[in-house]
Chain A
Amino acid sequence: MNKQAIIEFDHFSFQYYSQSEPTLHDINLKIYPGEKILIIGPSGSGKSTLGHCINGLIPFAYKGEITGTLMIDDQNTKDLNIFELSKMVGTVLQDSDGQFVGLTAGEDIAFALENDNIPHDTMHERVRRVAQMVDMQDLLSSSPFELSGGQKQRTSLAGVMIDDVDILLFDEPLANLDPATGKTAIEIIDDIHRTSQKTIIIIEHRLEDVLHREIDRVIMLNDGRIVADMDAHTLVCSNLLKENGIREPLYITAMKYAGAKVSCDMLPGYISTLKTATCNEALCTWHNAIHEKTPINDKSSILKMDQVSFSYDGVRPVLQDICFDIREGEMVSLIGKNGAGKSTLSKLLCGFEKEDQGIIRYRGEDIKDKTIKERAEIIGLVMQNPNQMISKSLIYDEVALGLRLRNIPEEQIKPRIEKVLKVCGLSPFIEWPISALSYGQKKRVTIASILVLDPKILILDEPTAGQDFRHYSEIMEFLVELNKLGVTIILITHDMHLMLEYTPRAIVLAEGRLIADTTASFVLTDAQVIADANLKETSLFNLAHMAGIEDGTAFVQGFIDYERKLKNR
C-alpha cells in the first residue's frame, strides 16, 4: 500500500454539544488512497458521526467539541470549510429521497455543477456522461415519483460522482433497497472503485450484502472506539461479530452449527472465495441429521383476498388479481421489489384505499362496507415511518390515544397500557417524552399503540429497517411472543434473513401480481421467482451446492428448523 494516508485520524475525539460524554473516543485510523473500507458497528456506536467528521458536517452543521486532529489529503480539517471538503469528499446519505433535491433526475445530478457556476452546455454534457456510467441516461427528465428506490440511489450516486472527488462516502446505502437492487448498488460501487481508483468508505449494517464484492479492510466501532481493523476473512473467523452484536453471514452460522471450524485459510470472508472442502462432510452429516417438519397450520381462514385489483389513478394498475388466504395464527412475509405494491396492499386491507375489483374477506365475511375505524378493530397497521403515526409528546398519551378516542373509561385504560408497555419493553420509559427515544424505541411505541387496541391481525411495514441486530432481535422475538398469543402477523420486509428466520410462509409480489405463495425456504432458492421479484439467492443455498448437497431448498429449510429448535420455538 501507498505510504501516504489520504485520511488520518490522530487521537481524535468528538463530543456533541448536547451529550455529556464524547461519542468518539481517541480514534486512530489511517486510510490510504484507493482503499475500499467498510465501517460496521451496532446502532449508536458512532459510525455516522465518524462519517460526518470526514465530510465536514461536523463541525459545520453539528456543533461539539473536537480534540486531536483529522487530516484529509494532508490538510487539517480544522482549516477547511465544508465547501473545500466537498471538493474532496462526496457523500451519499442514507435517505436517497431526502437528498433528491431536484425536480427531475437530470437536475439532481447537475446540482453540484450548478453551484459551481458551470456553463449550461458543459453541464449538460457532463450530466449525460455521468448518467451513462450509472445507466440513467434515459431517465434524466423523470421526477422522483416516477423513479424506483434503486433508480433514486443511482441518481444520488451520479450526483456525487459528477464532482470528480477523490473520496466517496456511503452511509447505509442499502437500507430500504430490495435485495437485488442492493446487490446492484454494491456492484456499481465496486465498478467505480475499480475503474476510477477512488477511495471508498461504506457504512452499513448489512455485512453479508456488502461482502458480495471485495473489501480491503473492515473497521468495527463499538461505543465510539475502534475495536477491530482487519480484512473480511480474519473478521468472520473471529468472535468479534458476535461479541459486538453484529450478524455474521448466514453461511458462517450454518458452518458453525455443523460443528465445522471456520479458519482463515478457507477464505471465508466472501461466499465467492469460500473453500468448503475441509467441512463438506460435517455439513452433510449435520444436514442429514435434521428431520423436522414444519407444522402445518390447519386453522380456519382469517383473511382472504379474492381476485383483488387496484389502481391509484385508474390508468396504471398497481395490484392485479391478487388471491391469497391467510389462516388464523399464521406469521407471513410479504416481499417483492421496490414499488411492487406491498404497502398498497396493506392500505387496501385497512380500508385506506378501496379495491377496484375483487373481495376481501375476514373470517369468510366480505368487509367491503366496513369503515377505516371498524376495520381497525380487526386489523392493526404499523406504518413504515414511525413519525407518521406519533402525534403526542408523551409515550403514555400516545398509546392511550386510540383507547381514549373509543371513549373507554380512564380507569380501564391504565392497566391495558401498562400491560402493553411491559410486553413492548417500554415500561421504564412510561414517563418519558417520545423525543428522547431512539428510532427503534419509537418504532416500538407505534407497535404498542396499535397493540393496545387488540387487533386480531397485525401488519408491520418494514419493522426492522435500519435497526441493528440487537434491536432487530428484540423486536422480532417480541412479535413471536405475540404470535404465540394467537395474533396473526403479516410482515412487509426487504430483509431476507428475517423472512427465513421468522416466517414459514412468504407471499411474493412483482409488478403488482402475486408470483409466489409458498415456503420461505423455497422462495429464496427458486431462480425464476428470485429474478422476477428482485430477490437474491441466499448464501445458504450456495453453501449447499459447494458442499455437494443436491437439494438446496431442503438444506435451507433444515437450517431454519434447526435454528428454531435451538431457540426453542
Chain B
Amino acid sequence: MKEYFKVSTKTIVATGLGAAIFMLLFMYVKVPSPVPETSFQTAYGLSGFFATLFGPIAGALISFIGHALSDAVQYGSPWWSWVIASGVSGFIFGFAFKRTNVEEGEFKGKDILTYNIIQIIGNVVAWIIVAPVLDILIYQEPASLVFTQGATAAIMNIISAGVFGTLLLVAYSATRTKKGSLSKK
C-alpha cells in the first residue's frame, strides 16, 4: 500500500504535464449536454488513463489542478466544490494503479473490467456524493438542482472515462514490451 502513495519525480512530472493536457481537453474537447452547466468532458478519460498509469496522487492532482486552472482561465475563479470533486474522482481512479497488467502489455477482459468498476465507483462517489454535498455546504445551492447536475455529470463522466479511458489504456498496452522480448532479426 505504501508504494501506492509513493511520489517519485516521474509522478510529479506526469502530474504537471497530465494537468496541462487535462486543461486543454477540458477547455476545447467537450460536448455540451442538455442539463445546464454540465458537459461531456473527454478530460475524465485522460485522468482515468493517467491515474491508472501513475497512481492515486497523480490522478487526484491532475484533475484538481487541471480543473482549477481551466476554471480560473475561463471564469476568473475556480468553482471549488466541483474542483474538489474532480480531485476525488481522480484519486479513486488511481486505485486501478497496479491492479491491471497494462504496464506488462496486456489490457484485456479482466483488466478492462477492473478499471471500469473502479472508474464507475470513482465517478459515483465524486459526482453523486462529493460534488452536491459540497455545493450545499459551501454555496447553499438547492439540493434538487445539485443532485440532478451531479447525476448527469456522473453518467457522462462514466462514459468518458469508460470509453476514452479504456481506449487509451488499450492503445498504451500495445506499446509496452515484455521482459527479454526484443531481439534483433
Contact = CB atoms under 8 A, between A and B. Distances in A.
Interface of A: 16-21, 393, 433, 435
Contact of A19 (B171, B174, B175, B182): B182
Nearest to B175: A435
Contacts of B181: 18, 20
Contact of B182 (A18, A393, A433): A18
B179 A433 contact: no
B73 to A, nearest CB: 16
Nearest to B181: A18
7 contacts: A18-B180, A18-B181, A21-B184, A393-B171, A393-B174, A433-B174, A435-B174
B183 A20 contact: yes
Contacts of A20: 180-183
B140 interface: no
B183 A21 contact: yes
Nearest to A394: B174
A19 B177 CA distance: 9
A20 B181 CA distance: 6
A19 B184 CA distance: 9
A89 B13 CA distance: 22
A18 B175 contact: no
Contacts, number: 25
A343 B166 CA distance: 36
Contacts of A17: 179-180
Interface residues of B, number: 11
B177 A18 contact: yes
Contacts of A21: 183-184
B110 interface: no
Contacts of B178: 18
A359 B83 CA distance: 49
Nearest to B9: A61
Contacts of A393: 171, 174-175
Contacts of A435: 174-175
Interface in B136-180: 171, 174-175, 177-180
B11 to A, nearest CB: 13
Nearest to A61: B10
A443 B44 CA distance: 32
Given A20-B181, A393-B174, 18 more contacts: A16-B182, A17-B179, A17-B180, A18-B177, A18-B178, A18-B179, A18-B180, A18-B181, A19-B180, A20-B180, A20-B182, A20-B183, A21-B183, A393-B175, A433-B174, A433-B175, A435-B174, A435-B175
A433 B174 CA distance: 8
Nearest to B171: A393
Nearest to A392: B171
Nearest to B185: A428
Nearest first, the 4 closest Cβ-Cβ pairs linking A and B are A435-B175, A18-B177, A20-B183, A20-B180
A16 B181 CA distance: 11
A17 B182 CA distance: 10
A526 to B, nearest CB: 44
Contacts of A18: 177-182
B9 to A, nearest CB: 9
A19 to B, nearest CB: 5
A16 B179 CA distance: 9
A253 to B, nearest CB: 30
Nearest to B16: A101
Contacts of B177: 18
Contacts of B184: 21
Contacts of A433: 174-175
A435 B179 CA distance: 16
Nearest to A434: B175
Nearest to A428: B185
A393 B171 CA distance: 7
Interface in B89-146: none
A16 B177 CA distance: 11
Most buried by B among A16, A19, A21: A19
